[in-house]
Amino acid sequence: MTPFDYDRATEVTQAIDAGRIIAGGTNLLDLMKLGVETPDRLTDINRLDLKTIEEHQGGLRIGALVSNSDLAADARVRRDWPVLSRALLSGASGQLRNMATTGGNLLQRTRCYYFQDVSSPCNKRDPGSGCAAMGGATRLHAILGGSEHCIATHPSDMAVAMQALDASVEIEGRDGARTVPLSRFYLLPGDRPDIETELEPGELITAVTLPPPPPGRQTYRKVRDRASYAFALVSVAGIVAMEDGRIAQAALAFGGVAPRPWRDPEVETALAGREPTAETFDAAADILLRDAEGHGGNDFKIPLLRRTLRAVLTDLTTEG
Amino acid sequence: MRTTLTINGATHDVDADPRTTLLDALRNHLGLTGTKKGCDHGQCGACTVIADGRRINSCLTLACMMDGVEITTIEGLGEPGDLLPLQDAFVRHDGYQCGYCTPGQICSATAMLDEVAQGWPSVVTDDLTGDASLTDAEIAERMSGNLCRCAAYPNIVDAIKDAADRTADQREAAE
């Protein structure tokens, strides 16, 4: 690690336009040890009063410092937003979930091998240096939403569930507070993969809000290289409400396949009002994958995503 | 910079560069070498300690962030002649080979059993709103943050199950 000054914020105002923010530290300290992150100043926000989950407009307001463990174990989340609880529990390890926070989970960085290796070119880490994943190992990489400059995936499970649940992000800055829907929070890489979110320098995430529980059944399905403690190759957060044997509405978000938790409204439109048949599911997958592009090592994700979507939709539309 | 750490009930003043992780402070500044450094990146769990009752990776937290937090290390969890049921079970079930991951396994399992007692589900729990039973699959999932390169996993699972059963029996006997 390169040297840094350490300070601690005890009020939110002290964490705005402050040093590099550290909360759980599980991703930041890892990247500092690798030399990917080299902050001059760290501002520790763990003493801020952002650790409560409160009921809010029929939904929930989750403080930015609520740990992944506490959020997954919350009785309301387990009962009314089980897709979120399951997504959280499918990520990382028990130790890491105890440390990792809600805000930090949203802002965690890609696990692209080349982003984490400072000897490789990477447009995200070092803008303009190139992309070593192009023509390199791409098992973890994106099939949707990438650009010629970057095909890194967003690694979060939690954010995929939140994307399906229409969550919003509350942000404080020097000009006051604002709220950004999660659907607009993450940016696609284009020619600036180093700019990942709507968050401006100096701003702080203070909470994530969930709207009231959606009707229907919820699930989170994660496919990975080992049974536990691995990042998603493909994941699907699904919420489906049935009416008279037909799909009334569906919300679907996808992890491990794109630079952000991926959601495609046209897929959901294609399912609404349809009978839950293999043809319906395949038609939805055709729409989801219409612009999918493999890069060799991740070609398998295209059929895998289709099959995982089909499995999730079958599960959510079958009684019992 | 100076930080007051509370380790196994005792306070220690540590004067260290802010870059010092809790793991390095324990081992290099306080001589508490029971906590092991494996990967130093939060992937192996050898450095697991308990902070305010919760298991964490001590390699991924800075010592200066931990003042006011009650840290428990393997040195605070029993000793020869007075082992915890979990430690005794690891001995009887041969839940190790080289032993390097064992302090992390013991700290992790201690806190994990508390998580189960509090009703925390895991990703392999069928009913998120029901009670989790401690099946082999539950133990394997909940302990997946602790790697054992000797692959003593079957015996580690047996030891944890045995200790959990004994603790439950003791609780019933007390009631």
CATH of residue B132's domain is 1.10.150.120
Cβ A100 vs Cβ A64: under 8 Å: no
Same domain, B55 and B103: no
Nearest to B108 among A22, A94, A228 (CB): A94
Query: How many Å apart are CA A181 and CA A178, to the nearest integer?
Result: 10
The tokens 């180093």 sit on which residue? A194
Same domain, B26 and B48: yes
Same domain, B10 and B69: yes
Residue A186: how many CB atoms within 10 A of its CB?
Answer: 22
Nearest to A3 among B19, B48, B64 (CB): B19
Same domain, B53 and B103: no
Query: How many Å apart are CA A39 and CA A269, to the nearest integer?
Result: 45
What is the 3-state composition of chain B as percent helix, strand, coil, each rounded to the nearest 5? 40, 15, 45
Same domain, B54 and B98: no
Chain B 75-94, residues with CB within 8 Å of chain A CB atoms:
none
Q: Is A221's Cβ below 8 Å from some Cβ in B?
A: no
Residue B26 lies in a domain: yes
Model pLDDT, residue B172 = 80
Same domain, B72 and B89: no
Model pLDDT, residue A103 = 98
Same domain, B69 and B117: no
The domain in which residue B71 lies consists of 2-76
Same domain, B59 and B108: no
Query: Given an 8 Å threshold on Cβ–Cβ distance, is A78 in contact with B121?
Result: yes
Q: Round the average pLDDT of chain B to a whole number and report it.
A: 96
Q: Calculate mean pLDDT across residues B121-142.
A: 94
Q: Which fold has domain A217-317?
A: Enolase-like; domain 1 (3.30.390)
Same domain, B162 and B98: yes
Query: In chain A, which stretches have pLDDT less than 70?
Result: 320
Model pLDDT, residue A320 = 60
CATH number for the domain including B67? 3.10.20.30
Cβ A234 vs Cβ A254: under 8 Å: yes
Q: Which residues contact A137 (CB under 8 A, 6 or more apart)?
A: A113, A297
ipTM of the complex: 0.97
Same domain, B60 and B116: no
| Domains identified in chain B, total number | 2
Same domain, B136 and B164: yes
Model pLDDT, residue B103 = 98
Best A93, A221, A226, A228 member to test B by mutation, with max B CBs in 10 Å, is A93
Q: Which of A264, A242, A244 is nearest to A309 (CA)?
A: A264
Structure tokens at A282: 């395949």
Query: How many Å apart are CA B7 and CA B24, to the nearest integer?
Result: 14
3-state secondary structure of B72: strand
Predicted confidence band of residue B170 (pLDDT cuts 50, 70, 90): confident
Same domain, B97 and B138: yes
Residue B8 lies in a domain: yes
Residue B173: is its pLDDT beyond 90?
Answer: no
Q: What is the pTM of this model?
A: 0.98
Cβ A260 vs Cβ A145: under 8 Å: yes
3-state secondary structure of B104: helix
Pairing mode, strands A20-22 and A5-8: unpaired
Q: Is B115's Cβ below 8 Å from some Cβ in A?
A: yes
Residue B175 lies in a domain: no
DSSP 8-state secondary structure symbol assigned to residue B21 = B
pLDDT (tens digit, 9 = 90+) per residue, B21-76? Answer: 999 999 999 999 999 999 999 999 999 999 999 999 999 999 999 999 999 999 99
